[in-house]
Amino acid sequence: MRHTLAVLVENNPGVLARVAGLFSRRGYNIDSLAVGRTENPDISRMTIVVEGDDRVLEQVVKQLRKLVDVIKVQDITSEQYVSRELLLLKVHADSNTRGEIMQIVEIFRARIVDIGPKTLTIEATGDEDKIEAIENALRPFGIKELVRTGKIALLRGSRTSNINGVKEEE
């Protein structure tokens, strides 16, 4: 089972390396990892997707909580949350295929962000299923380059994962 962890950490140099090192030393695989500053510039938020059973998840959470820079770890897998990924994809596009590619981009509500003589660069956001669907739809045209951010997520409604450990309810 895949678990989504919301991890608040001190915004200090080396924190990402310590977290990644923990996963590496313990043999846990990170499915995706996204890191960015929060509303407080001293705190960063990591959204980590990890594959494993409940025993693996329990060990991951316990080990993360031992790291000095980690402020809070929350498994939001069973919570209601909004998640997104960002995809940038460069696809081969000549004059014969541009129209069809532009239709696919429109269907997925994506955007063309750059045009080259024989390529189009496309930006798409959405959940994992949507990102995989547009990637698969464009694959027959010849993907030249592709990058994905990994999942980012926030709890739905007025609930938050704040640093005081108090979850605000609606």
* Cα–Cα distance measured from residue 158 to residue 140, given in angstroms and rounded to the nearest whole number: 42
* pLDDT of 168: 47
Q: Across residues 67-93, what is the average pLDDT?
A: 95
Domain span including residue 95: 83-152
Instruction: Please indicate, yes or no, whether residues 75 and 87 belong to a single structural domain of this protein.
Output: no
pLDDT one-digit tens code per residue, 8-23: 999 999 999 999 999 9
**Boundary (domain end) residue, out of 46, 64, 79:** 79
C-beta neighbour count of 100 within 10 angstroms = 14
Please give the radius of gyration of the chain, using alpha carbons only, rounded to the nearest integer. 19
Q: Specify whether 45 is located in the same domain as 65.
A: yes
Question: 52: pLDDT confidence band, cut at 50, 70 and 90?
Answer: confident
**Tens-digit pLDDT profile for residues 97-119:** 999 999 999 999 999 999 999 99
Q: Read off the tokens for 16.
A: 């990402």
Q: Is residue 27 part of a domain?
A: yes
The share of the chain scoring above pLDDT 70, in percent, equals: 96
| Global pTM exceeds 0.85 | no
The count of domains in the chain is 2
Asked whether residue 129 carries a pLDDT value surpassing 90, the answer given is yes
Q: Write out the two tokens for 108.
A: 């997925």
